[in-house]
Amino acid sequence: MSETTASASSGQFLRTLSLVALAIAAIFAADTFLAKSEEAESRIEADRLFKLGQSLLDRGNSVEAVERIKDALEIERGNRDYQRLLAQAQLTAGQLADAETTLDDSLRVDSTDGPANLTMARVLVKEGRIREAISFYHRAIYGQWNDDAQANRLKVRFELIDLLARQDSKEELLAELLEVQDQMPKDASARVRIGRLFLAAGSPVRAADVFRGVLREDNSADAYTGLGDADFARGDYRAAESDFESALRLKPEDPAATKGLDLSSRVLTLDPAVRGIGAAERFRRSRILLQMALDAGACVNPPPEDLLDQAEKTLKERVNLDGQYNATETNLDLAGQLWQARIAGCKPAPDPSDPLGLVLAKAAAQ
Amino acid sequence: MRRWAAKVRDGIEGLRRSDQLLLVLSLVIGALVGLVVVAFILLTGRLAARMYPAGGSGWRRILLPVLGSLSTGYLLWRYFPFARGSGIPQTKFALFVNDGRILFRTVLGKFFCCSASLASGIALGREGPSVQVGAGIASVVARNLGLNAKQVKSLVPVGCAAALAAAFNTPIAAVLFSLEEIMGDLHASVLGSVVLSSATSWMVLHLVLGDDPLFHVPGYQLAHPVEFAVYAVLGVVGGLGSVAFVKLLLRLRAWFATWPQSTVWFQPVVGGLTVGVMGYFVPEVMGVGYNNVDKVLNGGVVLKLVVLFAVLKIIATAVCYASGNAGGIFGPALFIGAMMGAGVGSVAHTLFPQYTAGPGAYALVGMGTAFAGIVRTPLTSVIMIFEVTRDYNIIVPLMISNLIAFFISQWLQKEPIYEALAHQDGVHLPTAHSRDLAERSQVRQAMREPAVVLSPHEDVTTALGQVKGGPFDAWPVVDGDGLWGMVRNRELEQAASNGPASQKLAEILAASSPGWTPGGEKLPHVHPDHSLSLALERMGSTGLNVLPVVSRANVRDLMGIVILDDVLAAYGVAKRGNAMVPHE
């Protein structure tokens, strides 16, 4: 009898356990289905909000875009695309601190995220933290890009180059330009731009090479103008004059080429060291330069009386043919001293493209 | 086949009789309750998403809570009367009054009515109902397995812990809540089972829903030690806010109780209409509102709004609960606390920006503060917020704020909310006070010096001469080394009639049970700090009306004796003749 009872209660025990096991399996299946459908619906809703945010951002409504992308991120936390777009929207909306926080979160998960590093660099540029920004530009250049990595990295490099050019950081600019020299784009205008940046970085020789490279393939007025500027910066005013003339033949009204031609012509008319002129002409030019330097030095306060007297006296002196060589040297020397006095004693500083300064600098270098 | 069936039957029988049965069942109940609570969360969320689609009309916010409360109100009145309200008082009632018995119908009613009610926007929480559902599942499973009432009762807190671990995603706080609030005893013997079920349930939650936390909180930081003072202020504000909420809820509930019985099914509509009208203008008041808590935790809501949200939520939750809707007050407590915290934090940050963190940090601490003030479980509230943040730095501010709120709440509202709710229903649950009193009734209050102490070297005749006519069933036997044991009158009389008169007491004690040693394990005894109820239990199990009281440091050190009459007298009952009457 007791065995029957035990068997009956064992049966009940087993039946209940089996039912519980079945219930666990069934509810697990139901939960998984509900969770998956919720996840799918949430993803669709998040995607809708993300796209709405993107279109708002494209239309310039960045403040509203920030809110919609935040809503999307609330549904799909940790979505890196959403985080990047949110940071961009915040940057555009001027919410720089928020953008930095968003990017901090994103970069904490993956510090090699190229786009996130680029946006962070842009945020820091806006905040005026240039050194940190340069560091983030480098992280972006060497970071991970999901698609078209090479083109994106080059784009970032150019953005950094532009920043360095604006900051007048010549050495860093040159270093970056040397990195892109081997990856020179095919597009002529982009190569002209690189040539220009080499010029800005203080490397006219490399700039001239770039422009010549362009001109080998394309008769571009901009390339001629750039080459003119490069030759001018190297002190080869004759070549520069020729380049500017070529540029103006292709693009007659080009203001940069016109200005460059005018400047190089003026320098050439003043330069006493230019080839093909005789001693008398050199002497004449040296007197003109001294007169110009004397006029320029009039603003110096207190006036360098000895120097001015000496210059005036020299200009009044009559020089015979034999003495012209020495007089030329004296004139140029005095003109150089007066120009230095003007640079030190007058404000504003003279224009770096002032023909007088250029000719005297060239003469001093020789 | 038969042999295999017999083996299975033997295995099951072995499990049934095994001491490990409760632990195995804790795992099973943990998994089952975890899955049911996850289903509850998902179902409520799905229903709410259907009822309130993005860009839906504002009128829905009035119409749906009214319809939801009307339909669930009728169902609760007609079919599931025990599924009203939060579920915590009902669970405690089942545990302490009803031998852990919760009907399957109640579990079903709670699950579906709460899902519909919360999805329609009723301003209540899902955690209390989850606790009742979890406890109910544990009870139903245990009873169907043929377990006895004691075993069923010990599985009820197991179900509670599993439910709360899944509902809040806080397994440690779930264990503490189960012990602190449900059992009312942090040293309960079911601790192992509760921990096991809580951990299992939490794992199930993560398996199905992933690792997404309940709240996404930014890193907590204490800006300056001065902030401790601000957290103390938050404790005061949280305590006063909690008392206001509890008093309002209880008064409204008492007022609804005065309505005619025939209106019970309709009363929840008052809550639905209140929350609907509020929600039309301020949608944040509706539902559980955890997404708004998330925003506040991340510092995304301004001062005026957080104050408005806190006030409206207090009113909405009080009306919804008091009118008889199905839902709990845990979630609203966290919402109200977050808003109060953000309010205090905003003011402090405006006044002392250098010395205080942003409002989000205060909202986080405020959640625990309101929980401690309303639910009155200070330890659970500290651990819960710690589990949410997983940041050790928050512990001290939390403790300061929570304890202040707890003491203010205790001072201004004597009766904790769940006990008060049970009282309103005519149920007297064992209160913390009564448990405290029970703990204070210790053996040391009733013990006395033994009138007669026998020596193990005495013979039976001498001993009988000493104890003859004495009122006790047994007598302590002591020598220079301490207590030997208790010799019973029956044993002395038997020895005197059957053996030689010169038989020593030591021999009688040695013969009383196999393996007996002086002062050994077989000696029935109590310690001075034992409860009188334990002394009564031991008297019952040994059949003695007297027990030796021995030192915990040395069980052979006899400190006195405790007798049945003294124990009864300590409980206020004196023996007069054969009848037990109240002690004068």
CB B187 within 8 A of CB B142: no
For B30, which residue in chain A has the nearest alpha carbon?
A24
What is the residue whose two structure tokens read 């919804």? B320
Looking at the predicted structure, is the pLDDT value of residue A55 above 50? yes
Say which of A20, A28, A35 has its CB closest to residue B209.
Answer: A35
Structure-model confidence comparison of residues B537 and A365, the more confident one: B537
Q: What is the pLDDT of residue B432?
A: 59
pLDDT digits (tens, 9 = 90+) for A164-216: 888 888 888 888 888 877 777 778 888 888 888 888 888 888 889 889 988 98
pLDDT digits (tens, 9 = 90+) for B137-169: 999 999 998 888 888 988 999 999 999 999 989
Q: Do A38 and B38 touch (CB under 8 A)?
A: no
Nearest residue to B545 via CA among B521, B561, B530, B557: B561
**Amino acid identity of B473?**
D
Q: Tally the C-alpha atoms within 13 A of residue B326's C-alpha that lie toward its C-beta.
A: 38
| Percent of chain B at pLDDT exceeding 70 | 94
Nearest CA to A37 out of B117, B55, B50, B54 is that of: B50
Q: Which of A23-32, A332-341, B61-70, B368-377 has the lowest mean pLDDT?
A: A332-341
pLDDT digits (tens, 9 = 90+) for B390-404: 788 888 999 999 999
Residue B400 CB neighbours (<10 A): 20
Q: Which of B43, B145, B209 lies closest to A16 in CB terms?
A: B145
Alpha-carbon distance B288 to nearest alpha carbon in chain A (angstroms): 17
Cβ B45–A38 below 8 Å, yes or no?
yes
pLDDT at res. B207 = 92
CB contacts, 8 Å: A42 with chain B: none
Compute φ and ψ for A338, nearest 5 degrees.
Answer: -65, -40
Q: Which residue of A has its CA nearest to B219?
A: A105
Separation of alpha carbons B551 and B447, rounded Å: 13
- Are A335 and A293 contacting, i.e. CB atoms less than 8 angstroms apart? yes
CB contact under 8 A, B42 and A35: yes
- Ranges of H-type helices in B213-329: 227-257, 268-281, 290-297, 303-322
- Rounded CA gap, B403 and B574, in Å? 41
pLDDT in tens, B414-428: 888 988 998 888 777
B39, B46, B49: residue with CB nearest A27 = B39
Residue B487 β-bridge partners = B475
A-B interface: how many C-beta pairs under 8 angstroms? 64
- The DSSP element (H or E) to which B488 belongs, if any, is strand B482-488
- Helices then strands, counting H and E runs in chain A, come out as 17, 0
Calpha distance A87→A93 (Å, rounded): 10
Q: How confident is the model at residue B582 (pLDDT cuts 50, 70, 90)?
A: very low
Residue B71 is predicted with a pLDDT of 95
B420: left (phi over 0), alpha (psi -120 to 50) or beta: alpha
Tell me if B143 sits within 8 A of B155, measured CB to CB: no
| CA-based nearest residue in chain A for residue B53 | A45
Confidence of residue B182 (pLDDT cuts 50, 70, 90): confident
Q: Say if residue B521's pLDDT is above 90.
A: no
Q: Which of B32, B209, B216 sits opposite A23 (nearest CB)?
A: B32
B216–A31 CB contact, under 8 Å? no
Q: Which residues contact B432 (CB under 8 A, 6 or more apart)?
A: B184, B416, B419
Closest Cβ opposite residue B216 in set A6, A28, A77: A77
Q: In the numeric block, which tokens belong to residue B535?
A: 């002394």
Cβ-defined contact of B28 to A34 (cutoff 8 Å): no
The H-or-E segment that residue A67 falls in is helix A62-75
Other Cβ atoms closer than 10 A to B579: 6
Q: Which tokens go with B304?
A: 């005026």
Nearest CA in chain A to B40: A31
Give me the residues paired with residue B563 across strands. B546
Average pLDDT in the B268-279 region? 95
Using pLDDT thresholds of 50, 70 and 90, give the confidence band for residue B570: confident
Query: What average pLDDT is seen over chain B?
Result: 87
Q: Which of chain A's residues have a Cβ under 8 Å away from the Cβ of B17?
A: none
The tens digit of pLDDT for each residue in B74-124 reads 999 999 988 888 889 899 888 888 888 999 999 999 999 999 999 999 999
Tell me which of B493 and A118 has the higher pLDDT: A118
User: Is 60 exceeded by the pLDDT of residue A5?
Assistant: no
